[in-house]
Amino acid sequence: MTTPFDDDKLHEECGVFGIYGDDDAAARAALGLHALQHRGQEAAGLVSFDGEQFHAHRDQGLVGDIFSSEEVIGRLPGHAAIGHVRYSTTGDTIMRNVQPLFAELNFGGFALAHNGNLTNARGLRRELVQRGSLFQSTTDTEVIIHLMATSDAGGLLDRMVAALLRTEGAYSLVALTDSCVIGVRDPLGVRPLVLGRLGGSHIVTSESCALDIIGADFVRDVEAGEMVVLDASGVHSLRPFPSVQRRFCIFEYIYFARPDSLVEGESVYKARKRIGAELSRESHVDADVVIPVPDSGVPAAIGYSEQSGIPFEVGIVRNHYVGRTFIEPAQQIRHLGVKLKHNANRSMIEGKRVVLVDDSIVRGTTSTKIVEMVRAAGATEVHMRIAAPPTAHSCFYGIDTPQREELLASALDVDGMARHIDVDSLAFISLDGLYRAMGEDGRNAELPQYCDACFTGEYPIRLSDFEDSDAPAQLSLLAELA
Ligand code: AMP
């Protein structure tokens, strides 16, 4: 039977932006979303409030296409706005899933945008539908709105907290009401959220690069478990959740966040360079040239080259007019996508022993094609170095990773992967090496400092929706980890 809540494809990658106290709120939010485009390329939306009314515009496609015209921005007046960029895995993005979601609740209008993924949304949804809630979308995010609508708590903020206390999973949320913009991070702070300021206006957004684009100053990270309220009197901080050890997603540093962003007080670019340097210390190989897989492998390759003394060269050129490989839905097209996207720079490769550096291997499609291309361009040896440990487990907290079976590292060990992608040698940074690069002594086995579930399978937040019999095998272990 197919029902809306059989939708188990709730994994989304997203970016959020909220601004309060700016006469051009929607225009600034559109720019902010443009800077966050790497976090989601499938759809985008904005909701603004002008003191009397809410206004919304959402569409599928890129921010630049959706919000480029003055006419569209002109239809979003007001001093406050929130926005969202979305990337969902399934390909069947339907307009009603495009965020921000909006509802008229009994205390007024309420718009909500979410980066992350709730891991008990299906269960909650079933319960809410049985009690009479009428869902408009298939997103996990809508559960929060229904929990708020049916809550006994007094004010809006109390209702929001009460709703969030019932959820499990990862969330960085921005919300818009008729009096404020709200930003909230889940108690573990899995996804990023930062505060900024531009003159008298305040901003809450996924990454600092969205502040830079509008000339706003970075103020600080919203802390794990913190709720911030941006209103006419400034920024107010609330601590509604019990305090727990933060577990920021380490993969944001490896791949997902933009290198020019500061997240959790750390430059993503510098972190990537240190990861590359550590990778070189751990798995040096004699070679003539270090070549990044562009763009995401570049900072790690620079770190690798500096540490090893092997010269860095741009040996692969990326065509920037093709989207990320993952956007294309079918496997055959994904293969084609990689060819469309990269070309070998033969003059830097021919006759050389090459170290290729990439941030991660997911399905192995990119690496296989790139290695073939580099060999065809005349490399005498190809050594692959990966700035992440093997990605052997799916993410359930908001990074779009394929099913576990499709992850190359879930099926093959490092030697097997090396044969599969046809390299002379393959090495991944170790988990402890990754933590060292992040400034730790190593990974604290008792209570890891980051969420690293995609490498370890240790999921720090319960995965209630996936504990049923139809769930992937690895998930049966999870109850005890919650
Ligand atoms: P694959 O070809 O499936 O092995 O994908 C690996 C490449 O995809 C890496 O070079 C990364 O730059 C990129 N990548 C890693 N994780 C993701 C993700 N969650 N979404 C989109 N691209 C990703």
Nearest CA to ligand 1 atom 8: 362
Residues 224 and 315 in one domain: no
The verdict on 284 and 426 lying in the same domain is yes
Same domain, 186 and 233: yes
Burial-class residue 346 by CB neighbours within 10 Å (0-12, 13-18, 19+): middle
**Structure confidence at residue 11 (pLDDT):** 44
Distance in Å, CA 167 to ligand 1 centroid: 29
CA-to-CA dists, residue 349 to 284, 372, 420, 452, angstroms: 19, 12, 22, 35
Q: Say what the pLDDT of residue 92 is.
A: 53
Task: Check whether residue 61 and residue 160 sit in a common domain.
Answer: yes
Residue 124 lies in a domain: yes
Do residues 283 and 300 make contact, with C-beta atoms less than 8 angstroms apart? no
Ligand 1 centroid to Cα of residue 362, in Å, is 5
Active site residue 209: no
pLDDT at 474: 39
CA dihedral defined by 191, 214, 236, 251, rounded to 10 degrees? 10
Q: Report the pLDDT value the prediction gives residue 7, as an integer from 0 to 100.
A: 36
**Which tokens belong to 141?**
């995010």
Query: How confident is the model at residue 338, as a pLDDT?
Result: 61
Q: Do 302 and 339 sit in the same domain of this protein?
A: yes
- Which residue, of 217, 247, 277, is where some domain finishes? 247
Which structure tokens are listed for 426? 């393959």
**Nearest-angstrom CA–CA distance, 384 and 423:** 7
Is 299 among the domain residues?
yes
Q: Is residue 480 part of a domain?
A: no
414-423 contacts, C-beta under 8 A, 24 or more apart:
414/390, 417/361, 417/364, 417/390, 418/384, 420/364, 420/368, 421/361, 421/364, 421/367, 421/368, 421/371, 421/384, 422/368, 422/371, 422/372, 422/375, 422/382, 423/356, 423/367, 423/371, 423/382, 423/383, 423/384
Residues 340 and 289 placed together within one structural domain of the fold: yes
- In the reported structure, the alpha carbon of residue 326 is separated from the centroid of ligand 1 by a whole-number distance in angstroms of 7
Give the residue from 207, 186, 187 showing the smallest Cα distance to 195. Answer: 207
pLDDT for the residue 472:
44
Model pLDDT, residue 476? 34
Is the same domain home to 378 and 445? yes
- Ligand 1 pocket list (CB less than 6 A): 255, 293, 296, 324-326, 358-367, 399-401
pLDDT given for residue 335 in this prediction: 62
Pocket test for ligand 1, best of 362, 372, 404, 421 (most atoms within 8 A of CB): 362
Q: What is the CATH number of the domain that holds 291?
A: 3.40.50.2020
Domain span at residue 408 reads 267-450
Residue 458 inside a domain? The answer is no
The domain boundary, picked from 214, 247, 280, lies at 247
Residues 6+ apart with CB under 8 A from 127: none
Q: What is the pLDDT of residue 319?
A: 87
Show which of 218, 247, 276 is a domain's final residue. Answer: 247
Nearest-atom index, ligand 1, CA of 401? 19
Nearest atom, ligand 1, residue 368 CA: 2
Joined together, the tokens standing for residue 182 give 């709200």
Q: What is the pLDDT of residue 402?
A: 86
Atom of ligand 1 nearest to the CA of 360: 9
pTM above 0.75, yes or no: yes
* 180 and 64 housed in the same domain: yes
Flag whether 66 is in a domain: yes
| Cα 274 from Cα 292, distance rounded (Å) | 15
Mean pLDDT for each consecutive 10-residue tract of the chain (482 residues)? 34 87 98 97 96 96 94 98 81 78 95 96 96 93 97 95 97 98 98 98 98 98 98 97 94 98 96 98 98 96 98 95 57 64 95 98 95 97 98 94 93 98 98 98 96 98 79 37 30
Domain co-membership, 233 together with 323: no
Say yes or no: 286 and 364 in one domain.
yes
Give the CATH number, domain containing residue 189: 3.60.20.10
Domain annotation covers residue 468: no
Give the Å distance between the CA of 340 and the centre of ligand 1.
16
DSSP string, 87-114: EETTS---GGGPSSEEEEETTEEEEEEE
Question: Is the N-terminal amide bond of 100 cis, ω within 30° of 0?
Answer: yes
Burial class (CB within 10 angstroms; exposed 0-12, middle 13-18, buried 19+) of 20: buried
Domain count, the chain: 2
Is 96 in the same domain as 29?
yes
Q: Do residues 114 and 220 share a domain?
A: yes
Instruction: Indicate which residue's Cα is closest to atom 5 of ligand 1.
Output: 362
Of 388, 189, 383, nearest in space to 289 by CA: 383
Sorted by sequence, the CB contacts under 8 Å of residue 86 that are 6+ apart come out as: 12, 14, 40, 42, 43, 44, 45, 93, 97, 98, 99
- Whether 470 is in a domain gets the answer no
